[in-house]
Amino acid sequence: MSEENRQTVVMTAEEKAEFEAFQQAKAKKAAEEKAKADREMYKQMVDEEIERSIPVLLGISEEIKESKQKVLDNFKTILEMKSDLFRTKVRDDQRSHTFTNSRGDQRITLGVYVTDGYRDTVEDGIAIVKEYIASLANDEKTQALVNMVFRLLSRDAKGTLKASRIVQLRKVAEDTGDARFLEGVRIIEESYQPEVSKQFIRAEVKDKNGMWKPIPLGMTES
């Protein structure tokens, strides 16, 4: 605006306050509109990037799946040959097989993840064990045994007994020599019903220091 067109507006204090309030409201509205536009742009960028990335990741996932299955199929033949060559039977309950090359610097482990599980009869075994524990005299020596047994019978976050602890429990029962205690442990052992979740492949190579280093085979490994 040129000097000759510039005009001075005289306002009262009340008019000045109203004008400033108007300016602030206008600035606030502009800021809100910009923030809204930025949020919309952000959401659009996320949507577009997801649309581009998902097909790529699906492709990678399928390649990993196919490659792992090929390795499993190839080693299936090797496992059968191992059985014939060394006259050993490959057990169905064997959870993993490790193969190392002749130089000793590469190895592959094939296996399955197994989670502990029990049939309902496990509760009968636990009840018998607790019955035996309750029958013990309450002195310092037996209290240590009681604490040990209850620790071995403790469950994990999913409410499942750990099979490794039941192995320890059997040793404790054998040390006591009590038939009733051993019967309870036997029922627990017979109730064991592990569940196979999925197969896995682990590949490793030795580095220059002779340490085994895993080869990343999953999306979350690097």
* Closest CA relative to residue 107, chosen from 60, 81, 71, 83: 71
Please report the pLDDT score of residue 194 as a whole number: 87
Output the pTM of the full model: 0.54
- How does residue 14 score in pLDDT terms, banded at 50, 70 and 90? confident
Burial group, residue 75, by CB count within 10 angstroms (0-12, 13-18, 19+)? middle
- The one-character DSSP state at 5 is G
Mean pLDDT of 63-69: 89
pLDDT of 151-193, one tens digit each? 999 998 888 899 999 999 999 999 999 999 999 999 999 999 9
Burial group, residue 165, by CB count within 10 angstroms (0-12, 13-18, 19+)? middle
Cβ-based neighbour number of residue 217 at 10 Å:
14
